[in-house]
Amino acid sequence: MNKEYAKMDAGLLHLTNKKVLLKLIKQKGQISRSELTRITGLTPPTIARIVGELAEKDQLVEYLGVGNSSGGRPPVIVKFKNEGNYIIGIDLGATYIRGCLVDLNAKFISEIQVPTEMGKGYHQVIEKVVQVIQKLQNRKEDNVKIWGIGIGVAGLVNSRTGVIESSPDFGWKNVDLREELKNRLDLPFFYDNSTRLMALGELNLGARHNPKNFAVINIGYGIASGLVVDGKLVMGQIGFAGEFGHISVDTNSDVQCSCGMYGCLEALASGHRISALGKQEIINNNSDLLKKLCNGNPELVTAEIVARAAKMGDASSIKIYNEVSEHICKGIGTIANLFNPEIIYIGGGISLNGKFFFDLIERKKSKYLLPQNANIHIIPATFGEQATSIGAVSLVLKEIMNLQLS
Q: Which of 264, 335, 344, 387 binds Zn ion (CB under 5 A)?
A: 264
In the complex, minimum distance from the CB of residue 243 to Zn ion, in angstroms, rounded to a whole number: 8
**CB of 264: closest distance to Zn ion in angstroms?**
3
Count how many Cα atoms sit within 13 Å of the Cα of residue 197 in the half-sphere of its side chain.
34
State whether residue 100 is helix, strand or coil: strand
Least CB distance from residue 259 to Zn ion, whole Å?
3
Q: Verify binding: residue 293, Zn ion, rule CB under 5 A.
A: no
Residues touching Zn ion: how many (CB under 5 A)?
A: 5
CB-based contacts of 235, cutoff 8 Å, min separation 6? 196, 241
Per DSSP (E only), the strands in 85-193 are: 85-92, 96-103, 108-115, 145-153, 156-157, 163-167, 172-176, 189-193
Measured from the CB atom, is 10 or 259 closer to Zn ion?
259
Packing angle between helix 44-56 and helix 3-28, nearest 10 degrees? 70
CA atoms within 13 A on the CB side of 290: 31
Q: Looking at 8, 12, 259, 312, which residue binds Zn ion (CB under 5 A)?
A: 259
Interface map 131-170 toward Zn ion (x if CB under 5 A): ----------------------------------------
Give the shortest CB-338-to-Zn ion separation in angstroms: 18
* 246 near Zn ion (CB under 5 A): yes
Among residues 81 and 273, whose Cβ is nearest to Zn ion? 273
Identify the H or E element spanning 107: none
Q: Is 257 in the site for Zn ion (CB under 5 A)?
A: yes
Q: How far apart are CA 389 and CA 129, in angstroms?
A: 13
- Nearest Cα neighbor of 81 from 102, 57, 55, 100 is 55
Nearest approach in angstroms of CB 60 to Zn ion is 44
Stretch that binds Zn ion, among 52-60, 241-249, 299-307, 395-403 (CB under 5 A): 241-249
Nearer to Zn ion, 201 or 226 (CB): 226
Strand order in the sheet with 156-157: 156-157, 163-167, 172-176
Q: Any residues with CB less than 8 A from the CB of 368 and at least 6 apart, and which? A: 329, 330, 332, 333, 334, 336, 337
Q: Given the rule CB under 5 A, which of 9-17, 142-150, 257-265, 294-302 is the region that contacts Zn ion?
A: 257-265
Give the shortest CB-261-to-Zn ion separation in angstroms: 5
Minimum separation from the CB atom of position 266 to Zn ion (A) = 5
Q: Which stretch binds Zn ion (CB under 5 A): 208-216, 263-271, 378-386, 388-396?
A: 263-271
Q: Which of 146, 264 has the CB closer to Zn ion? A: 264
Taking the C-alpha atoms of residue 128 and residue 18, their distance in angstroms, rounded to an integer, is 38
**Which residues contact Zn ion by CB under 5 A?**
246, 257, 259, 261, 264
